[in-house]
A and B are shown apart, each in its own frame.
Chain A
Amino acid sequence: MSPSPEVKNPPELEFGNAWEYAAAPESVKVDIADKYGMFINGAFVAPMSRKYMDTINPGNEEVLSKIAVANEDDVERAVAAAKAAFPKWKRLKASERAKYLFRIARRLQERAREFSVLETLDGGKPIKESRDVDIPEAVKHFFYHAGWADKLDYAFPGRKGRPLGVCAQIIPWNFPLLMAAWKIAPALACGNTVVLKPAETTSLTALRLAEIFVEVGLPPGVVNIITGAGDTGAALVAHKDVQKVAFTGSTAVGKAIAQECAGSGKRLTLELGGKSPNIIFEDASLDQAVDGIVQGIFFNQGHVCCAGSRLFVQEGVMQEVLAKLEVRMQSLRVGDPMDKNTDLGAINSLGQLATIKRYLEVGEAEGAQRHQPSVKLPKRGYYLPPTWFTGVQPSHTIAREEIFGPVLSVMSFRTPEEAIARANNTPYGLAAGIWTDKGSKIFDIASRLKAGVVWCNTYNRFDAASPFGGYKQSGFGREGGRQGLLSYLELV
Chain B
Amino acid sequence: MSVDRLPVLKTYKLFLGGAFPRTESGRSWPIEGRKGEVFAHLCLGSRKDLRNAVVAARKAQDGWSRRDAYNRGQVLYRMAEMLEGKTAEFASAMAETVPGGVRRARKEVEAAVDRLVAYAGWADKFSQVLGCNNPVAGPFYNFTVAEAMGVVGVVAPKEEALLGLVSLLAPVLVAGNTAIVIGSETDPLATALFGEVCATSDVPPGVVNLITGKREELLEVMATHRDIDGLAAAQCSKGERILLESGIAENLKRVTIEKVKGKDWYDVEQMHSPYRIQPFVEMKTIWHPSGS
The majority secondary structure among interface residues of chain B is mixed
Asked whether B252 lies within 8 Å of A467 as measured between CB atoms, the reply is: no
Q: Is A10 an interface residue (CB 8 A)?
A: no
Q: A-B pairs with CB below 8 Å: how many?
A: 114
B250 neighbours in A (Cβ, 8 Å): 255
Q: Which of A140, A158, A466, A491 contacts B285 (CB 8 A)?
A: A466
A157 neighbours in B (Cβ, 8 Å): 129
Q: Which of B239, B252, B287 contacts A461 (CB 8 A)?
A: B287
B140 neighbours in A (Cβ, 8 Å): 458, 461
Asked whether B284 lies within 8 Å of A451 as measured between CB atoms, the reply is: yes
Q: Is B89 an interface residue (CB 8 A)?
A: no
Q: Tell me how far the C-beta of B69 lies from the nearest C-beta in chain A, rounded to whole angstroms.
A: 13
Q: Which of B136, B245, B246, B286 contacts A463 (CB 8 A)?
A: B136
Asked whether A159 lies within 8 Å of B273 as measured between CB atoms, the reply is: yes
Q: Which of B144, B239, B252 contacts A270 (CB 8 A)?
A: B252
Would you list which residues of chain A between 420 and 457 have a CB under 8 Å from chain B?
A: 427, 442, 446-447, 450-457
Asked whether A263 lies within 8 Å of B241 as measured between CB atoms, the reply is: yes
B246: nearest chain-A partner, CB-CB:
A262
Asked whether B249 lies within 8 Å of A262 as measured between CB atoms, the reply is: yes
B144 neighbours in A (Cβ, 8 Å): 466-467, 481, 483
Interface string of B250-292 (1 = CB under 8 A from A): 1110100000000000000000010100100011111111000
Asked whether A471 lies within 8 Å of B129 as measured between CB atoms, the reply is: no
Q: Interface-forming stretch among A59-67, A86-94, A472-480? A: A472-480
Q: With A159-B273, A455-B287 in contact, do A261 and B245 touch (Cβ < 8 Å)?
A: yes
Asked whether B138 lies within 8 Å of A461 as measured between CB atoms, the reply is: yes
Asked whether B287 lies within 8 Å of A467 as measured between CB atoms, the reply is: no
Q: Is A154 an interface residue (CB 8 A)?
A: no
A194 and B285 CA atoms in complex are apart in Å by: 27
Q: Which of A258, A476, A482 contacts B245 (CB 8 A)?
A: A258
Q: Is B137 an interface residue (CB 8 A)?
A: yes
Asked whether B252 lies within 8 Å of A256 as measured between CB atoms, the reply is: no
Q: Is B242 an interface residue (CB 8 A)?
A: yes
Asked whether A467 lies within 8 Å of B285 as measured between CB atoms, the reply is: yes
A259 and B252 CA atoms in complex are apart in Å by: 10
Q: Tell me how far the C-beta of B54 lies from the nearest C-beta in chain A, rounded to whole angstroms.
A: 16
Q: Is B238 an interface residue (CB 8 A)?
A: yes
> What are 20 pairs between A and B in contact, CB < 8 Å?
A140-B137, A251-B252, A261-B245, A261-B248, A263-B245, A447-B147, A452-B284, A456-B288, A463-B136, A463-B138, A463-B142, A465-B135, A465-B137, A466-B134, A467-B285, A471-B284, A472-B251, A474-B252, A475-B252, A483-B144
15 more contacts with CB within 8 A, not counting A259-B246, A458-B140, are: A159-B275, A263-B239, A263-B241, A272-B252, A452-B285, A454-B284, A457-B289, A461-B140, A466-B142, A467-B144, A469-B283, A473-B252, A474-B252, A483-B130, A486-B278
* B residues in contact (CB < 8 Å) with A: 129-130, 132, 134-138, 140, 142, 144, 147, 229, 238-239, 241-242, 245-246, 248-252, 254, 273, 275, 278, 282-289
